[in-house]
């Protein structure tokens, strides 16, 4: 069969651009299809720890150079801001601006010879032969339907993946709604409070939204008086909590506005704030997908599309990149040896990935978060009980970090 490219990658986010750069550096012909008119059109996470892979993709010292704030502690606030705990995470977290970060990924991909086609939205229908995926169809920038054939398709299309959904992944079990906010002129003294802060709010604690799921409101200092902030609904335990349900988008935004106005401790930060960006989005944090090779093979899901984040810190940037690296390495060896997919190959490749350290780490992060959230939001359940047992939660969270 004639292929248009070796790797067709769907989505120019951090996972897709990493996979593309590494595959192109190995000599493969790589095409990315991105639905936006730029890479990573909507801002996602703007902080991460350093790992050698970051230098490999972005260049030595790039992450450190673009970050002005580099804290290695996190502060957790109990319900009602009655108690706080400072946790040493032992490595600095670098905070940066999304556009500066993502543009550098694009530069690296372009230097490696990757072709990026913007305004190209992949449709759910996959091309296949003998039930193995051989390419995708997409709508190009002029609205025309197009097809592209590839030896491998990597679905790096984010937290609500078109490909994942079309092949049966139920993202309502994987994702958590999250409001992302960026603001200037926050009421924050970065010298005194340079650390990311989290306010844990159990279900039932907000009298104006009694069915609202447990959530964590957060403030990240970006530099100067600029902050990233938001609220993430913690959906992992919700199916087991009778009094919680997934709220509508409108209710989530109403709760978000009230948290900014009146939640103890949290609202202080927003007194004179100048809003730069505010949107409801989602990210995985409730569970991993069941398998990474979809259908009978030919297509692998990577990054947020696979639920591949460290659930303890909601960190997906590095883990999506690392997952991309592992899969490119696995597929490189496989393609050189075999050339084509078959059902048995799919199972072997999936098993190889499940044996990597990074997969085991992510799996463990979901187990740990499951235990600590069950303890907090189901066993203790109320703000009063959580405050009483905060000392025990503090020990748990310190020993897990
Ligand atoms: C508010 C928020 C804060 C976060 N904070 C942090 C943090 O501080 N640290 C951290 O490590 N992680 C954080 N994360 C998680 C992290 O941002 C994500 O895990 C990471 O960006 C996932 O990368 P990705 O490439 O898998 O997906 P994405 O970055 O979502 O990229 C997917 C790409 O696919 C494109 N696409 C989607 N559908 C199609 C289609 N049908 N056809 C073509 N293209 C398509 C999209 O336009 C996008 O460019 C945060 C996430 C959010 C939402």
Domain CATH for 259:
3.30.9.100
Q: Give the pLDDT confidence of 48-92 residue by residue, as tens digits.
A: 999 999 999 999 999 999 998 889 999 999 999 999 999 999 999
Considering the domain architecture, whether residues 260 and 292 belong to the same structural domain is answered as: no
Residues 192 and 260 in one domain: yes
Residue 400 has pLDDT above 80, yes or no: no
Q: Which residues contact 239 (CB under 8 A, 6 or more apart)?
A: none
Helix (H, G, I), strand (E, B) or coil at 307: coil
Q: Is residue 29 domain-resident?
A: yes
Question: Which domain CATH number covers 308?
Answer: 3.50.50.60
Question: 149: burial class by Cβ within 10 Å (0-12, 13-18, 19+)?
Answer: middle
pLDDT of residue 140: 96
- How far is CA 132 from each of CA 10, 39, 248, 314, 343, rounded to the nearest angstrom? 17, 28, 38, 33, 8
Residues 166 and 303 in one domain: yes
Residues 21 and 41 in one domain: yes
pTM (2 d.p.): 0.96
pLDDT of 347: 87
208 and 247 belong to one structural domain: yes
What pairing do the DSSP bridges indicate for beta strands 215-223 and 132-139? unpaired
Across the range 139-161, mean pLDDT stands at 96
What's the pLDDT tens digit per position in 191-235? 888 899 999 999 999 999 999 999 999 999 988 899 999 999 999
- Which pLDDT does position 145 carry in this prediction? 95
Q: Who lines ligand 1 at CB under 6 A?
A: 10-16, 33-36, 40-41, 44-48, 121-122, 156-159, 162, 178, 180, 230, 281, 283, 303-305, 309, 314-318, 320
**For the CA of 16, the nearest atom of ligand 1:** 25
- Report the separation in Å between the CA atom of 159 and the middle of ligand 1, taken as the mean of its atom positions: 7
Which pLDDT score is estimated for 193? 82
Query: Is 107 part of any domain?
Result: yes
Going from the Cα of 129 to the center of ligand 1, the distance in angstroms, rounded, reads 30
79 falls within a domain? yes
Whether 237 maps to a domain, the answer reads yes
Q: Say if residue 151 is in the same domain as residue 181.
A: no
* Protein residue with least CA distance to atom 50, ligand 1: 45
> How far is Cα 83 from Cα 78, in angstroms, rounded to an integer?
5
How remote is the CA of residue 71 from the centroid of ligand 1, in Å? 23
pLDDT score for 306: 97
What does the alpha-carbon distance between residue 44 and residue 292 come to, in Å, rounded to a whole number? 22
Structural domains counted in the chain: 2
Q: Residue 123 CA: which ligand 1 atom is closest?
A: 41
The yes-or-no verdict on residue 345 having pLDDT over 80 is yes
Residue 1 confidence (pLDDT): 66
Last residue of a domain, one of 249, 284, 319: 284
**pLDDT, tens digit, 9 for 90 and up, residues 86-125:** 999 999 999 999 999 999 999 999 999 999 999 999 988 7
Residues in the chain: 401
Same domain? 152 vs 165: yes
Whether residue 271 is found in the same domain as residue 132: no
Ligand 1 centroid to residue 339 C-alpha, Å: 30
Ligand 1: distance of its center to the CA of 44 in Å?
6
Higher pLDDT, 190 or 374: 374
Residue 26: inside a domain, yes or no? yes
Residue 73: domain span? 69-95+176-284
Residues 34 and 108 in one domain: yes
Is there a domain that residue 372 lies in? no
Residue 314 has pLDDT above 70, yes or no: yes
pLDDT at 80: 97
Q: Whose CA is nearest to atom 16 of ligand 1?
A: 316
| Best mutation site among 40, 45, 154 for ligand 1 pocket (most ligand atoms within 8 Å of CB) | 45
Question: What pLDDT does residue 321 have?
Answer: 98
User: Ligand 1: which residue has its CA nearest to atom 17?
Assistant: 45
**What rounded mean pLDDT belongs to the chain?**
94
3-state secondary structure (DSSP) of residue 39: coil
Each residue's pLDDT tens digit, 255-295: 999 999 999 999 999 999 999 999 999 999 999 999 999 88
- pLDDT score of 397: 86
DSSP assignment of 93-131 equals EEE--HHHHHHHHHHHHHHHT-EEE-S-EEEEEEEEETT
């Amino acid at each position: 069969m004639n292929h248009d490219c070796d790797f067709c990658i769907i989505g120019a986010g951090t996972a897709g651009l990493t996979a593309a750069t590494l595959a192109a550096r190995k000599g493969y012909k790589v095409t990315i299809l991105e639905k936006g008119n730029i890479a990573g059109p909507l801002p996602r996470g703007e902080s991460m720890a350093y790992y050698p892979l970051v230098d490999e993709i972005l260049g030595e010292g790039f992450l450190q150079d673009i970050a002005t704030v580099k804290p290695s502690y996190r502060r957790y606030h109990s319900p009602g801001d009655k108690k706080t705990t400072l946790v040493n995470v032992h490595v600095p977290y670098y905070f940066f601006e999304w556009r500066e970060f993502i543009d550098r990924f694009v530069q690296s991909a372009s230097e490696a010879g990757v072709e990026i086609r913007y305004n190209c939205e992949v449709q759910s229908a996959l091309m296949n032969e003998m039930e193995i995926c051989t390419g995708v169809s997409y709508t190009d920038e002029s609205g025309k339907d197009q097809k592209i054939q590839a030896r491998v398709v990597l679905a790096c299309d984010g937290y609500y993946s078109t490909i994942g959904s079309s092949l049966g992944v139920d993202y309502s079990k994987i994702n958590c709604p999250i409001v992302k906010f960026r603001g200037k002129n926050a009421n924050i003294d970065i010298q005194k409070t340079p650390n990311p802060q989290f306010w844990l709010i159990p279900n039932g604690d907000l009298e104006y939204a009694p069915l609202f799921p447990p959530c964590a409101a957060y403030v990240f200092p970006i530099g100067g008086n600029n902050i990233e902030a938001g609220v993430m609904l913690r959906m992992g335990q919700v199916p087991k909590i009778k009094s919680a349900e997934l709220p509508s988008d409108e209710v989530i935004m109403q709760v978000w506005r009230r948290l900014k106005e009146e939640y103890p401790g949290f609202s202080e930060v927003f007194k004179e704030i100048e809003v730069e960006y505010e949107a409801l989005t989602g990210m995985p944090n409730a569970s991993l997908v069941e398998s990474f090779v979809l259908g009978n093979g030919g297509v692998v899901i990577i990054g947020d599309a696979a639920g591949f984040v460290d659930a303890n810190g909601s960190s997906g940037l590095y883990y999506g990149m690392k997952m991309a690296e592992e899969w490119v390495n696995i597929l490189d060896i496989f393609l050189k040896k075999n050339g084509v997919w078959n059902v048995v190959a799919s199972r072997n490749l999936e098993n190889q990935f499940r044996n990597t350290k990074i997969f085991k780490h992510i799996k463990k992060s979901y187990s740990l978060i499951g235990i600590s959230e069950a303890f907090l939001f189901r066993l203790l359940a109320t703000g009063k009980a959580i405050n009483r047992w905060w000392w025990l939660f503090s020990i748990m969270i310190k020993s897990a970090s």
